[in-house]
Amino acid sequence: MHKENSNELTTKRLLTPWSSPKESSIQFSIKALEILLAELGWPLPEKWVENWSKRGGVELAASKWPSGIKSDWIWGVGLPFLTDLERFLEAKNERYIFGISGLPGCGKTSLGKWIESAALDLNFPISVISLDDFYFPYQKLKQVMAGNPWDVPRAIPGSHDIDLMQRTISTWKETGKLIAPQFDKALRAGKGDRSGWRESKPKVLVIEGWFLCCKSLNILSINSDGSNTLTPLEMSYRVKVQENLSKYKKVWEYFDRLWHLKALEFSSTNKWKEEQEANMQKERGSSLKGTELNSFLRMINTAIPQSSLEELNANVIAKINAERTIKWIGRREDE
C-alpha cells in the first residue's frame, strides 16, 4: 500500500475549493458558495480560508468524521455551517435554534457529531440533538405506532413527544439550561427506547431530523404525487400522518435557521438507510434488517409526499448525490 509522506499530507490538507487544481471531490459550484459566504460575513473567500486554516481547517475534529470523509463536506458544509453558527453566538441574551433536515442516512447525524465536537474544540457553546431523541418511551411508542400500514416501530409523524419537545425548548430559551432526552435505536432489537437524559447550557441549539420543518398539506394535496402506487391503506393513513404532522408546527416555529441536505434522487435514501443499519449492526450488534428494514424503507418512500420533503423553506441547501458527494451548496434563493 502506498504511504503518503508528510509533504503529500500537507499538500492534501491545504486543498480548498479555490485551489488550483482543486481536489477532485469538490464538485459543487464555487460561485454559489461564495455568495453564501458573503451573506455570512465573508466577502473574500481567501480570508475565510485563512481564518479556518488557523483554527484547524480540515483537521478540526477530524476524528469525528466517518472514515473516508472528503473535502467537499468539510469546505462545503461543515465549515460554512460553523461560520453561520458563529454569527449567532455574538448576540447578547438570546438563544437560537438551527435545524438540519434531510432524508434518513444522508449524513445528518454524522454532521451533527462533527459540529458538536468542533464546537467543543473552538469553545463554542453549542449542543446538537436529534428530533429522534424525543421519541416516546418504548411502551408508549408501541401504542402510538400500532396499526400503521408499514408496521414500523417509529419515525412517522406522531411518534415524538411534541409536548416534551416544546417544554424542553421553551425552558432552555428561558433559563439557558437544556435537559433533553436521549433515544437509543439499537435497544430492543433495533426498535429502540429512551436511554437517559443529557444536560448542557448551549447558546445555540442544533436539531436534526428527517422531516424537520416539513409542513403539513391539505387533504387534496396529500395524494398528488403519483399516489397510484400506494395501497388503499397507505393512502388512507397518509391523512393521519398529515394530521400528526400539523401538530409539529408549534415546534417548527422555534427555528431561526434551517439547512437542508437535499438528495438529488429521493431513492438514494434506500441505499443510505441500508448502509446505516448495516453499520449499526456492526457497531452495536442490533439493527433493523430483513422484512423490518424493507418496511421501514417503504414507509420513508410513501408516508409523506416526497414533494413536501424536497421543498422545505430552508435558508441553505446542500444537494448531494447517491454517493453523498456535495454537488451544490448555497442559499435557497440561488438554487
pLDDT in tens, 53-94: 999 988 999 988 877 778 899 999 999 999 999 999 987 778
Over residues 149-174, mean pLDDT: 96
pLDDT band at 14 (very low <50, low <70, confident <90, very high): low
CA distance 203 to 185: 28
β-strand pairing of 257-263 with 178-184 = unpaired
Q: Are strands 193-200 and 178-184 parallel, antiparallel or unpaired?
A: antiparallel
pLDDT at 259: 98
pLDDT of 30 reads 95
pLDDT of residue 220: 60
The predicted structure's pLDDT at residue 1: 33
Angle (CA) 132 133 138, round 5°: 90
pLDDT tens digits, one per residue of 265-302: 999 999 998 888 888 788 777 777 888 889 989 999 99
Q: Which residue has the higher pLDDT, 43 or 5?
A: 43
H helix runs in the chain, sequence order: 6-14, 30-39, 45-54, 71-73, 79-89, 108-122, 138-145, 162-175, 219-222, 232-246, 249-252, 268-284, 291-302, 306-310
| Residue of 141, 140, 112, 137 whose CA lies nearest to 127 | 112
Is the alpha carbon torsion for 200, 53, 64, 99 positive or negative?
positive
